[in-house]
A and B are shown apart, each in its own frame.
Chain A
Amino acid sequence: SQTIHQWPATLVQPVGSPLSLECTVEGTSNPNLYWYRQAAGRGLQLLFYSVGIGQISSEVPQNLSASRPQDRQFILSSKKLLLSDSGFYLCAQSSGDQETQYFGPGTRLLVL
């Protein structure tokens, strides 16, 4: 079965600092990969999704970017963090014919 790893688990960063969050997937090949952000007590906001290496679709224009350098690796980045970037960042994957998404454990980011 597939496993999703995310790191770091928690992160505290100052405003204006860069960001790099990593997601790796095991147990499946050529998955669709997703980055979500969840503000405290809120729903799931889709940020980016990818159907293959180097293929990134952005859902919400902002100061974040994503890259997929390998089939099972998905990276979320920022050059300069904003206070509003604080939240719970979730990586998810789907594969096969069905669109069921399975989530990683998440990274909790606090920007001060």
Chain B
Amino acid sequence: QQPVQSPQAVILREGEDAVINCSSSKALYSVHWYRQKHGEAPVFLMILLKGGEQKGHEKISASFNEKKQQSSLYLTASQLSYSGTYFCGTEGEYGNKLVFGAGTILRVKS
């Protein structure tokens, strides 16, 4: 079942923060986050595993709440280069292939 992402779209000014949420109705083993820039293929950002710690690099981090079956992606002090569509992909507890959300469009303005 497809995870639900929110918001569908968000517009920020440079330096502002954003949170993108991903919720599933099924128990999850892992959550994967991707970013797709216009006209390009999705690029893997990070994976969060059940029982694992919050992950992050530079000003992009993510958390995984296993009980709530939710993950959130945090973008801090956004830059123009953060613009794109963000997808979460969820893996169920029994190792099934990823199921992707519909995506969240993020636009950072100067």
Contacts and interface: CB of A to CB of B under 8 A. Distances in A.
B42 A103 contact: yes
B41 A43 contact: no
5 cross-chain pairs, A with B, having the tightest CB-CB distances, nearest first: A103-B41, A43-B102, A44-B100, A99-B91, A106-B41
Interface string B81-97: 00000010101000111
Interface of A: 32, 34, 42-44, 46, 49, 90, 94, 98-106
B41 A104 contact: yes
A98 B30 contact: yes
B30 A99 contact: yes
A43 B91 contact: no
A101 B41 contact: no
B97 A49 contact: yes
A104 B44 CA distance: 12
